[in-house]
Structure 1
Amino acid sequence: MSEDPVQTNPDHYTVVFENDRVRVLEYRDKPGHRSTMHIHPDSVMITASTFRRRLSSGTGSMEVELPAGSARWLPAQEHYGENIGDTDTHAFFVELKEPGPAAAAREGGVLGPGLPDR
């Protein structure tokens, strides 16, 4: 059963801010670490380090490499991740508490961060 990443991976996810509209999580891991399955609502991910990861779900997997200082949209999704690089992963997630109008249509079909909106 999928759950909140703070509950499924408490040594890696920390709540750093929360109010009635958003929750901000900090995530850290080391090369070789693999998280357990968890869910994220619609979020903005901000990378504090450069890292390489493999994200996997029931619909497949993908590898991502992101530089420090990136901000990416992360549509609601269920996944687990693995640090497949040589550097620590350090990122922040600004989770939205209100689902967007298309959230139901995306359920189960999206994996990984989106491209930057520039």
Structure 2
Amino acid sequence: MSSDDPVVTDPGLYRVIFENDRVRVLEYRDKPGDRTHRHRHPDTVMYTLTAFRRRISAGAQSVDVELPAGAVRWVGAQEHSGENTGDTPSHGIFIELKDSAPAPVGGSLGPSPLSTDH
């Protein structure tokens, strides 16, 4: 892990709950007023388990974000710090993508394993 990994910068707020060669899944929990140190995320899918109100800062720019519980958002790779500006704790899941999957070799993949027409 690098020094700007959120699990390193803020181990009391982020924890790894699953990891393989394709993804890493982080659980995030904080309380009102908690702040993260500057850290980096790769391309990520974020799922809010509780309402989520915070200020995200990157360099000289800041943006206030408010999401309801159950929101799912794509978050492009970025470096930032954050602060819980709400009056309730935050709880969320971050699914960080690793390198892209290799392209299939040899053409067609055939029917989907989830398909019912085979």
Partner of residue 11, structure 2: 10
Matched, 1:30 2:26: no
The separation in 2 between residues aligned to 1:2 and 1:77, in whole angstroms, is 15
* Matched residue type, 2:28: Y
The number of aligned residues is: 99
Give the Å deviation of 1:91: 0.5
Computing the radius of gyration from Cα coordinates, the structure with the larger value is: 2
Give the Å deviation of 1:58: 1.0
Give the Å deviation of 1:59: 4.7
RMSD over aligned Cα atoms: 1.4
The separation in 1 between residues aligned to 2:54 and 2:3, in whole angstroms, is 20
Query: Which range moves more in the overlay, 68-77 or 58-67?
Result: 58-67
* TM-score, scaled to structure 2: 0.81
Q: Give CA deviations for 1:80-104 in whole Å, capped at 9, x if unaligned.
A: 00000111011100000116xxxxx
Unmatched segments (≥5 aa) in structure 2: 101-118
Partner of residue 83, structure 2: 82
Unmatched segments (≥5 aa) in structure 1: 100-118
Same amino acid, percent of matched pairs: 63
The separation in 2 between residues aligned to 1:78 and 1:46, in whole angstroms, is 19
The separation in 1 between residues aligned to 2:48 and 2:11, in whole angstroms, is 19
* Matched residue type, 1:67: P
Deviating beyond 3 angstroms after TM superposition, the runs of 4 or more aligned structure 1 residues are none
